[in-house]
Chain A
Amino acid sequence: MIDQFLQFFSILFDLVSQPSNLLILFASSFIGILFGAMPGLTATLGIALLTTLTYSLNTDTALISLLGMYVGAVYGGSYPAILLNIPGTPAAAATALDGYPMAKRGEGAKALGLTTTASLIGTLIGLVFLVVLSPAIATVALQFTSWEFFLLALFGIIISGSITSQDLVIKGWIAGFLGLFLSTIGRDSLQYFPRYTFEQSQLDSGLEIVPVLIGVFGIPQVIRVLSDRETLGKLTKLSRVLPELAVIKRNIKHIFRSACVGVGIGSVPGIGEDIAGWVSYSVAKKTSNPEEQKKFGQGAEAAIVSSETANNACVGGALIPLLTLGIPGSPPAAMLLGALLLHGITPGPTIEIDHPNFLLEVTAILFLASLAMWANGMLLAKQVLKLLQVPPPLFIPVVGVLCVMGAYSLGINIFNLYIMLPVGVCAYFLSEMKFPLAPLVIGLVLGSMADESLRRALMLSDGSFWPLFDRPVAVILLMIIVGFCAIQIPLVRRGSSAFVNRFFRRANRK
């Protein structure tokens, strides 16, 4: 253990001792943040683009730039989410729910400082898990078969239904079902059967998340601000960005819980940062007491801390199955796998034999990347806040153009715009009718996973639902889902609180 520790520091020192490494680290972290902050440009795309550029670099340097980009991009999505209510990446969508109300109250600086620090702590905790627990976590991740994937997706969908409705709870569910409907568009992935494709080959691969995300969050916000129905946050004074220790301390339990959620979600193959933010957000809400719960959606510190810690902790989590099994834990990690292959490194069970100390090296680079992200973030936050001083009639059209470019840049495909615009207009009317739109996006993200996993699971079990009750992880997930649904029913909720009062709070009363 101590040996490892020393080795870690010697690798760290080696990396830092080359000035060019530091230069590339800060530059790629900076570009990563910009990537995350631009609507439509995601961590996945950033890593994919950088892969070509890093081909001629040596492996260490390439990894520094790729991980710098990854961590930066996951974090950068929070800027537009907080300032404009337009999440820059799917991962930051949950941050917008509370970050934007905070910015509107004039607490933008506080929100940015808090998310920056939460992202740093999240990445660092994820990194600790990566070094210490990766074999154990990889074993658990391998317990996830089609049934568990289905239940996990179902859990996410159920959570989304109960999130954020301003008046009627049912509106969240309706938006969630719309998302599920959108997710069925395209060839089904098991039998290639075309569904709602109208003979359009562009629709064969289904709807891309990013254009829909921009349509759902970007377009309505642009329309609202330009028609003066919504005002952006005011920058009253350039307040301090660096959060006080007391604030961090107050939220430390949220930070730790969210980091665990993030690592867990990240380590499950195939799902990543976007889901981690949501799950962590709703777990934070559900585990808070009723007074705190009321603050969620109105600009709660706990909320932004939870989603931002989780999505960055997810980076470390996603690297666990990638490095130990060669299975990427998230979409950006899949890109990272491609980049590693180019450099002649095949991650997998034999990585420590082929490339001794590779895990420690990645950890050291991730450590540097998170520090670079924090430093860049702290410097950038102040400048970014000044953007709010630009009058909205000048600023918002630029945001609108960036939205359009972001959607187009994904695969340089004009068809994305044909998806984004109608979705945006529909989303505008839905939001005018006070439908929460977040569940729609979650439905789209998770719908195909739920659909595909359930049908494959039934294919494997010859149509029997029995394996659902036969597998330990599945049973745990099932219990969480049932419990979650049960407390939505008023009778059960009253009953359970009476039960808690009777048996657990009596001591307090005496």
Chain B
Amino acid sequence: MLRTLLISLLFFLFISDEADAQQAYPKRPITTTVVWSAGGGTDAVNRVIMAEMSKELGVRINVTNKAGGVSGSIGMSSTLRKRPDGYNLVGLASSNVSAAVNGGWREKFDVWYPFIVGSSPDVLSVKADSPYHSLAELVAAAKKSPGSLRASAGGLGSNHHLHLLELSKIADIDLSFIPYSGSAPSQTAAITGEVDLVITSMAEQAQLIRGNKLRPLAMLHPEPFEMLDGIKVPSAFIEFPELSKNLPISQAIGFAVNNKASAVVKRQLADAFNKAMDSSEVKDWARLNYYQLDGLYGEPAQQEFSRLESLFAWSLEALNANKVSPESLNISRPN
């Protein structure tokens, strides 16, 4: 009994490291609260970037998950309530911008000072033995019998869903959207043939495409995509150039600190963030997992999030799926 206890203690000692107490910030461990559950993209990206940043900052960064509420509202409001001293970060992504219009909280997204790590582009795929071999064929079939093709793209109001809506609008087709609780069940539904097409990110689909379970038709991204083993996917923008008006809607995975944090905190975080983004660990991980690194932070990142906020908010308004009108929250229309 005692021996096993000692062993387990040793186990923990091995993998925890000491804080460096020289500079003003950070002096003690930082906590990053990821507002989506463990195992997802936001969680994985945050764990990788935090591990690198902790080397730069010289303190441990604990990554915890606090999912729940609407669009991550519980994790975001609990982090925002804490003192803005930079010891509490929040791990988030673009889908979180709809928390306010969904009634999760009453804050606009500019309460954060965000750091965008990156995003994985969205891809439209069909089952491997589907009759459709190109986006044109799919669109033609959808035009022939409107509403007969079923599409999955994560949950209602996710960035994948927004991509689907935008594609339907520009290509002038009627696809019936079937909501699932996330990307993984959406993809499974496409493999089992429950739905005819699926839109999720390349990072999530890569293994299924390479394993010949899904056939990629088009990227919802301006550039074509070449996978590590040479599979090429064309861009949907070639056939439908108007897509470029609002697309791509980036996943904008990253983290944020309370905007009220001091300039010192922001600068320290930015330095560590820049160095971590430059590290080969992060670059390799992103390349192998089909993420495109971004690196925006501070004001430019705030602008990007406010663009996303208005896109998400007004798309949900058009679907009548929101609870609070974007107007009452002072969210401007996308131009």
B233 at the interface (CB under 8 A from A): no
> Given contacts A205-B68, A344-B285, is CB(A350)–CB(B194) below 8 Å?
no
Report the bound CA distance from A176 to B39 in whole Å.
Answer: 31
Cβ contact within 8 Å between A328 and B184:
yes
Cβ contact within 8 Å between A27 and B206:
no
Cβ contact within 8 Å between A338 and B8:
no
Cβ contact within 8 Å between A204 and B70:
yes
Of A49-57, A226-234, A436-444, A475-483, the one touching chain B: A49-57
B268 at the interface (CB under 8 A from A): no
A327 at the interface (CB under 8 A from B): yes
Nearest CB of chain B from residue A388's CB, rounded to whole Å: 16
Interface string of B15-48 (1 = CB under 8 A from A): 1000000000000000000000111100110011
Q: Please, which residues of chain A bring their CB within 8 A of the CB of B293? A: none
Cβ contact within 8 Å between B206 and A460:
no
B331 at the interface (CB under 8 A from A): no
Cβ contact within 8 Å between B181 and A452:
yes
Report the bound CA distance from A383 to B43 in whole Å.
Answer: 38
Nearest CB of chain A from residue B49's CB, rounded to whole Å: 11
CB-CB nearest in chain B for A55: B51
Cβ contact within 8 Å between A189 and B155:
yes
> Given contacts A146-B194, A192-B70, A325-B213, is CB(A52)–CB(B47) below 8 Å?
yes
Instruction: Give B133-189 interface residues, CB cut-off 8 Å to A.
Output: 150, 155-157, 176, 178-181, 184-185, 187-189
> Given contacts A346-B207, A348-B208, A411-B66, is CB(A189)–CB(B179) below 8 Å?
yes
Partner of B8, one of A27, A327, A342: A27
Cβ contact within 8 Å between A460 and B178:
yes
> Given contacts A346-B207, A348-B211, A413-B66, is CB(A341)–CB(B15) below 8 Å?
no
> Given contacts A349-B208, A349-B213, is CB(A204)–CB(B194) below 8 Å?
no
Partner of B188, one of A51, A327, A349, A412: A327
Interface string of A22-37 (1 = CB under 8 A from B): 0110111011000000
Partner of A144, one of B62, B192, B208: B192
Q: Please, which residues of chain A bring their CB within 8 A of the CB of B321? A: 191-192
Cβ contact within 8 Å between A338 and B40:
yes
Q: Is the interface of A mostly helix, strand, loop or mixed?
A: helix
Cβ contact within 8 Å between B192 and A48:
no
Residue of A23, A327, A342, A351 most packed against chain B (CB within 10 A)? A342
CB-CB nearest in chain A for B191: A142
Report the bound CA distance from A194 to B73 in whole Å.
Answer: 15
Of B98-106, B115-123, B257-265, B302-310, the one touching chain A: B98-106
Report the bound CA distance from A145 to B206 in whole Å.
Answer: 22
CB-CB nearest in chain A for B228: A354
> Given contacts A201-B73, A205-B69, A327-B188, is CB(A346)–CB(B206) below 8 Å?
yes
Report the bound CA distance from A66 to B227 in whole Å.
Answer: 30
Cβ contact within 8 Å between B7 and A342:
no
CB-CB nearest in chain B for A338: B39
Q: Please, which residues of chain B bring their CB within 8 A of the CB of A452? A: 181
Instruction: Give B190-223 interface residues, CB cut-off 8 Å to A.
Output: 191-195, 206-208, 210-213
Q: Please, which residues of chain A bring their CB within 8 A of the CB of B104? A: 201, 204
A456 at the interface (CB under 8 A from B): yes
Cβ contact within 8 Å between A412 and B7:
no
CB-CB nearest in chain B for A321: B188
Q: Please, which residues of chain A bring their CB within 8 A of the CB of B212? A: 349
B282 at the interface (CB under 8 A from A): no
Cβ contact within 8 Å between A52 and B62:
yes
A337 at the interface (CB under 8 A from B): yes
Chain A interface category by residue count: 35 or more
Cβ contact within 8 Å between B289 and A344:
yes
Partner of B4, one of A30, A202, A413: A30
Nearest CB of chain B from residue A415's CB, rounded to whole Å: 8
Partner of A24, one of B4, B11, B74, B77: B11
Q: Please, which residues of chain A bring their CB within 8 A of the CB of B191? A: 142, 325
Q: Please, which residues of chain B bring their CB within 8 A of the CB of A27? A: 4, 7-8, 10-11
Q: Please, which residues of chain A bring their CB within 8 A of the CB of B73? A: 201, 204
Nearest CB of chain A from residue B219's CB, rounded to whole Å: 19
A347 at the interface (CB under 8 A from B): yes
A270 at the interface (CB under 8 A from B): yes
Partner of A142, one of B40, B67, B150, B192: B192
Q: Please, which residues of chain A bring their CB within 8 A of the CB of B207? A: 326, 346-351
Cβ contact within 8 Å between B11 and A338:
no
Q: Please, which residues of chain B bring their CB within 8 A of the CB of A239? A: none
Report the bound CA distance from A292 to B74 in whole Å.
Answer: 49
A257 at the interface (CB under 8 A from B): no
Nearest CB of chain A from residue B116's CB, rounded to whole Å: 20
B288 at the interface (CB under 8 A from A): yes
Cβ contact within 8 Å between A53 and B15:
yes
Q: Please, which residues of chain B bring their CB within 8 A of the CB of A376? A: 4
A379 at the interface (CB under 8 A from B): yes
A246 at the interface (CB under 8 A from B): no
Report the bound CA distance from A502 to B289 in whole Å.
Answer: 65
Residue of B7, B38, B192, B195 most packed against chain A (CB within 10 A)? B38
B65 at the interface (CB under 8 A from A): yes
CB-CB nearest in chain B for A346: B207
Cβ contact within 8 Å between B74 and A192:
no
Cβ contact within 8 Å between A56 and B51:
yes
Q: Please, which residues of chain A bring their CB within 8 A of the CB of B40? A: 338
A389 at the interface (CB under 8 A from B): no
Cβ contact within 8 Å between B179 and A383:
no
CB-CB nearest in chain A for B284: A344
12 residue pairs bridging A and B, Cβ less than 8 Å apart: A56-B15, A187-B70, A191-B156, A192-B70, A204-B69, A204-B103, A205-B70, A326-B208, A327-B184, A341-B289, A346-B206, A413-B74
Give 6 nearest A-B pairs by CB, closest first.
A349-B211, A348-B207, A338-B39, A205-B68, A27-B11, A48-B38
B residues near A (Cβ < 8 Å) are 1, 4, 7-8, 10-12, 15, 37-40, 43-44, 47-48, 51, 62-70, 73-74, 77-78, 102-105, 150, 155-157, 176, 178-181, 184-185, 187-189, 191-195, 206-208, 210-213, 284-285, 288-289, 321, 323
List 15 extra interface pairs beyond A26-B4, A55-B51, A146-B189, CB under 8 A.
Answer: A48-B65, A53-B15, A142-B192, A145-B194, A146-B194, A187-B70, A189-B155, A201-B73, A201-B74, A204-B104, A205-B69, A326-B184, A348-B208, A411-B65, A456-B180
